[in-house]
Amino acid sequence: MVGLRDLIAGYAQPGRVAWIGLRGARREGVRPVDEVWIGAEGLEGDHGRAGKRAVTLVQKEHLPVIGAMLGRGPVAAEELRRNLVIEGLNLAALKGRRVRVGAAVLEITVICAPCSRMEETFGTGGYSAVRGHGGWCASVVSGGLVRIGDAVVPLPDEDATP
């Protein structure tokens, strides 16, 4: 019989970096890039916060869900203001775990709750539409270059160090 620890550690396939965005300053627009260096403080060129919120991630699969709750098509990654859009891997299943993203290793820490800007961006109900679908925050375990198309692979507990 497979134990709960083994079930939690399992995943069907690696994910993939689908999009990368940088926010140069608070309230500034998000600029998409093809690659970025992630250091101890977060993404180079981004105004994010060091520590458990150094990098923000969201699942690509949630973009059409948020759009559906707003009565429209998929929202654009830039509208959510997250750094990395990941596809093919359930980020919620990785809370508290380390993942290799390109050459960097991140630890998924806490839910990236929506801010009041979601009402500005999406209109009335924008905040509620993003709740539960706004992604995750991560701390940087070890830095490295991340490119669009790079694999996102959960690290086993015993191999969690970079």
CATH number, domain at 26? 2.40.33.20
Residue 127 lies in a domain: yes
Residue 2 — very low, low, confident or very high, per pLDDT cuts 50/70/90? confident
Residue 55 lies in a domain: yes
Q: What CA–CA distance (Å, rounded) separates 133 from 157?
A: 26
The helix (H) or strand (E) run that includes residue 160 is: none
Residue 123 lies in a domain: yes
Residue 3 scores a pLDDT above 90: no
Q: What CA–CA distance (Å, rounded) separates 18 from 132?
A: 20
Q: Report the predicted TM-score, pTM, of the whole model to 2 decimal places.
A: 0.91
Identify whether the C-beta of residue 3 lies closer than 8 Å to the C-beta of residue 138.
no
Identify whether the C-beta of residue 126 lies closer than 8 Å to the C-beta of residue 73.
no
Q: What CA–CA distance (Å, rounded) separates 143 from 149?
A: 18
Residue 158 — very low, low, confident or very high, per pLDDT cuts 50/70/90? low
Containing structural domain, residue 33: 4-157
Q: What CA–CA distance (Å, rounded) separates 23 from 126?
A: 20
Residue 160 scores a pLDDT above 90: no
How far, in whole angstroms, is CA 151 from its chain's centroid?
13
Q: What CA–CA distance (Å, rounded) separates 114 from 146?
A: 25
Residue 162 lies in a domain: no
Identify whether the C-beta of residue 77 lies closer than 8 Å to the C-beta of residue 5.
no
Residue 151 lies in a domain: yes
Residue 49 — very low, low, confident or very high, per pLDDT cuts 50/70/90? confident
pLDDT at res. 159 = 47
Identify whether the C-beta of residue 82 lies closer than 8 Å to the C-beta of residue 56.
yes
Domain count for the chain, please give it. 1
